[in-house]
């Protein structure tokens, strides 16, 4: 499946949108998604050592899985509302195809992510700037791969026998849902890079994981801070 995503996407999309049983394709895409994201996750968490690397190798695939789980129903409703001829299983597999492509892209960037993380000064209270740089760097990488992954989704959707305007509307709405939910999932499952503050020891999940959300945090913390500078 890994190589089919890279070299035989058109055949894969034929399978995805055809009458082939969905379960085997679904399983194969799941394996690729988990493997690719786990590889990148390990590099992402390695700044704080093996423990966070192991946590992140588990949590990054989880972010992708939960994002797809929380958006798939909405995506299906949108496709029905816009008149697209997609069954629920098609929507689910298309979502997984996009996320599996994202995971393959992440895996290809793992050597670079690992090198940057390895070159970063050790995480202590004085390394706040490094923490922020790493945070921005990984966010940019994951976002870039996410956009790259949805390119596969777009190529699949333009094959549908519907006006391009309708397909584009559905694509944009799916994308917005992924971005909105993906950002929040990553926030709820933090830490990924790992804090340098003693207030936040290394844990799998923070106790306040579901207290507040990332967009509130941006609105009440980051934006006012940047505004005041």
Partner 1 sequence: MTGHNEILAVEPRGVVGTLDELLRRPMAGTERAQAGVSVRAWTIRVLAGSVACWGLYGAAGGFFQGGAQVAIAAAKAPIIMLATAALCVPSLYVFGLLAGASLTHRRLAVVLAGFLGLVGLVLVGLLPIGWLFSVSSTSLSFVVWLHLLLWGLALFFGGRFLSAALPEVPSGAVLLWLTLFCVVSFQVVTFMRPVLWRAPGAPVVEEGKLFFLDHFSAVQK
Binding residues for partner 1, rule: CB under 8 A, are: 6-7, 9, 101, 104-105, 107-112, 115-116, 118-122, 129-130, 133, 144, 148, 151-152
State the Cα–Cα distance between residues 126 and 124, nearest whole angstrom.
5
Q: Is the CB of residue 109 less than 8 Å from the CB of residue 141?
A: yes
State the Cα–Cα distance between residues 35 and 100, nearest whole angstrom.
9
Angle at the Cα of 143 from the Cα atoms of 168 and 156, rounded to 5 degrees: 35
Cα 89 to chain centroid distance, Å, stands at: 20
Closest to partner 1 by CB, 131 or 181: 131
Q: Is the CB of residue 29 less than 8 Å from the CB of residue 93?
A: yes
Closest to partner 1 by CB, 35 or 144: 144
Closest to partner 1 by CB, 28 or 89: 28
Q: Whole-number minimum distance, CB 57 to partner 1, in Å?
A: 18
Q: Whole-number minimum distance, CB 162 to partner 1, in Å?
A: 23
Q: How many CB atoms lie within 10 A of CB 108?
A: 15
Closest to partner 1 by CB, 66 or 106: 106
Closest to partner 1 by CB, 63 or 145: 145
Q: Whole-number minimum distance, CB 72 to partner 1, in Å?
A: 23
**Residue entry with tokens 């909405």:** 74
Q: Whole-number minimum distance, CB 122 to partner 1, in Å?
A: 7
Q: Whole-number minimum distance, CB 26 to partner 1, in Å?
A: 21
- Kindly write down the DSSP assignment for every residue of 29-74, as one continuous string: HHHHHHHHHHHHHHHHHGGG-HHHHHHHHHHHHHHHHHHHHHHHHH
């Amino acid at each position: 499946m890994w190589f089919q995503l890279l070299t035989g996407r058109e055949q894969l999309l034929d399978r995805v949108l055809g009458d082939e049983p969905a379960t085997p394709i679904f399983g194969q895409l799941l394996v690729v998604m988990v493997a690719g994201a786990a590889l990148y996750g390990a590099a992402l968490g390695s700044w704080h050592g093996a423990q966070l690397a192991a946590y992140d190798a588990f949590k990054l695939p989880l972010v992708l899985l939960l994002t797809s789980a929380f958006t798939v129903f909405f995506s299906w409703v949108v496709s029905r509302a816009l008149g697209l001829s997609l069954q629920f299983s098609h929507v689910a597999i298309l979502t997984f195809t996009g996320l599996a492509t994202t995971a393959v892209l992440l895996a290809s960037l793992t050597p670079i992510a690992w090198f940057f993380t390895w070159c970063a000064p050790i995480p202590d209270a004085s390394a706040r700037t490094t923490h922020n740089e790493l945070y921005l760097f990984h966010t940019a990488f994951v976002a870039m791969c996410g956009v790259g992954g949805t390119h596969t989704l777009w190529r699949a959707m333009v094959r549908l026998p519907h006006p391009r305007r309708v397909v584009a509307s559905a694509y944009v709405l799916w994308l917005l849902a992924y971005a909105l939910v993906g950002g929040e999932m990553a926030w709820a499952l933090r830490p990924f890079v790992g804090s340098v503050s003693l207030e936040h020891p290394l844990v799998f999940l923070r106790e306040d994981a579901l207290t507040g959300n990332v967009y509130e945090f941006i609105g009440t913390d980051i934006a006012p801070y940047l505004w005041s500078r």
